[in-house]
Structure 1
């Protein structure tokens, strides 16, 4: 069987969603580490230096464009799986089996994924688009060779509006649910579940990706709004 044919099968699509999901999990860790620098009381030096490095390093930019492709691929294949699963079960159950067949998280993945996709588009327009194509003021820092685009100020300007803070927090709630189920499903797809490691994997999936990371992201706009 050719690779193109394999990835058209249900198993192939699940592997593709799982692999791209793991990649996106690693991305949110790195992205959070960088974004937390917005909370440093240094007039934006740390965050703007980080943003400049991420925005101009050739390798990072290559990975960034790859990330956008991965997000689209992840969403597209996940939607395909959702519709194919529904088509395979065209007649609704007389009684909702609830947790007997799937967790609450799995039944909300399409909704949470849609919320996240809309948020990502808004987020890219507000920050990535402005950084690369908008008119952003620059700031000079001691010890830094050249003026840096002030993405720090742009972030504070966006999050002084309560509406955007609420949108961001709602998106992080969706991210939490999406990561909890997604991490668990990816582990199952790749056969990583084992009684020796299930406790650790459950801890990572729920408390690291499902709780700590979304809270870390959500804290940033809330702190900025009240700062």
Structure 2
């Protein structure tokens, strides 16, 4: 199998989805940890220190490029697989088995992925782009904590972020174990453990992300 075939064949697309999915899961762990530092309620001191390290460390900045590529590769391959599967069933089933064969979120990964992409675009617009633009112009980093307080003072933004995190939760309920299975890391022996870890991850991580805008909006943080 040559490189072109690896990225265009059905198996190749699934492998790209699996590996980029695992990469994005690891990113969510780091991102969740850094952002959860706001809950020390110290005026953003610990969060700002961690954000400064993530925003100035050269290794992290290089990985950031890989992360961006990984996100778009994951989304593009996911959409291609969705369209490919639909093309194989142009007419569709007369009667669908529903949740008897699979959960609705497993059948809606394309839709959930699109909603998450829209959420990411809004998140980049609010935080990542202004911070990198400020650094590029030689003005240093923005005050991310103050920016969060400002952004999350708007009800519609909080609602969109919460809906985005709920979409992420359902996406992870299928995507977590699917990524491990695709790259061959899920065996019968460890399947239940990985499924359990996946469900826990899909609930805890998005919940922490939901609590962030909600805490600012409700005035629970200084």
When the two structures are superposed, what TM-score results if normalisation uses the length of structure 2?
0.91
2:33 corresponds in structure 1 to: 33
Deviates more, 1:31-40 or 1:19-28: 31-40
2:156 corresponds in structure 1 to: 163
1:174 corresponds in structure 2 to: 167
Contact 2:158/2:214 (8 A) holds in 1: yes
Give per-residue Cα distances to partners, 1:55-103, cap 9 Å, x unaligned.
Answer: 1111111111111111011111111111111111112111112235433
Instruction: State the superposition RMSD in angstroms.
Output: 1.7
Contact 1:52/1:149 (8 A) holds in 2: no
| Number of equivalenced pairs | 215
Q: Does 1:199 align with 2:192?
A: yes
CA–CA distance in structure 2, aligned partners of residues 41 and 183 of structure 1: 31
1:36-185 mapped onto 2 (5 Å cutoff)? 36-134=36-134, 149-185=142-178
CA–CA distance in structure 1, aligned partners of residues 142 and 159 of structure 2: 26
Structure 2 residues not aligned, in runs of 5+: none
CA–CA distance in structure 2, aligned partners of residues 179 and 123 of structure 1: 19
Contact 1:112/1:175 (8 A) holds in 2: yes
Change (3 A) 1:10 1:100: farther
After the TM superposition, which parts of structure 1 deviate over 3 Å for at least 4 consecutive aligned residues?
A: 99-102
Structure 1 residues not aligned, in runs of 5+: 136-146
When the two structures are superposed, what TM-score results if normalisation uses the length of structure 1?
0.89
